[in-house]
Amino acid sequence: MSGSPGHNPPLIPSITIPGPPTFPEVPMGIPKALVPYYRPLVVPPSDLEAPPEVQAEETEETQPEVRKLEIPVIDIEVPVPAPEILVTAVSTAVVAVATTTIAQTFFEPIQKNVKKQLQKQVDAWRKKRKNKTSSTESKENEESLKKNK
């Protein structure tokens, strides 16, 4: 029937394909790197000396006087610290001893009560465990007796 005069051949379907999308151009510059740097440290040479025409300043370096306690029987001198250091050490020791003594009076009764309570708990646990083991032993004995009969 391809040759019939009143008949048109079938049309081939066609698709219209759109063109590629247009994107805006992104300007890209040359990349830059942040390179770490340091300022060079200038170290003077070990044999550095002042020029002969320069004179050094004269400074007085005085050492604090060390107090000494002389023990007459064995002829020994013992250095004694400054009064400020002695006051600090003595006051710290007194506060520590006082705090310990006061705290001990508060905590001794608490410690005794806690020990009593813990001992009661342990005794109750032991009794319960003993009863449990004795009951399981008696059941095992009964079962063995039944088997032997």
Domain around 113? 105-149
Q: Does residue 134 lie within any of the structural domains? A: yes
Query: Are the C-beta atoms of 68 and 80 separated by less than 8 Å?
Result: yes
Q: Does residue 94 lie within any of the structural domains? A: no
Give the C-alpha separation, 31 to 61, whole Å: 59
The domain tally of the chain equals: 1
DSSP label at residue 56: P
At 134, list the tokens: 């004795």
Query: Are the C-beta atoms of 77 and 68 separated by less than 8 Å?
Result: yes
Residue 135: pLDDT band with limits 50, 70, 90: confident
Q: Does residue 9 lie within any of the structural domains? A: no
* Other residues' Cβ atoms within 10 Å of the Cβ of residue 59: 5
* Model pLDDT for residues 15-28, shown as the tens digit of each residue: 889 999 998 888 88
* Model pLDDT for residues 82-134, shown as the tens digit of each residue: 888 889 999 999 999 999 999 998 889 999 999 999 999 999 999 988 888 77
Give the C-alpha separation, 82 to 23, whole Å: 83
Q: Does residue 138 lie within any of the structural domains? A: yes
- Given a cut of 70, whether residue 5 has pLDDT beyond it is no
Mean pLDDT (the chain, rounded): 84
Q: Does residue 109 lie within any of the structural domains? A: yes
Q: Does residue 128 lie within any of the structural domains? A: yes
pTM, two decimal places: 0.35
Q: Does residue 45 lie within any of the structural domains? A: no
At 135, list the tokens: 């009951």
Q: Which amino acid is at 9?
A: P
* Other residues' Cβ atoms within 10 Å of the Cβ of residue 56: 6
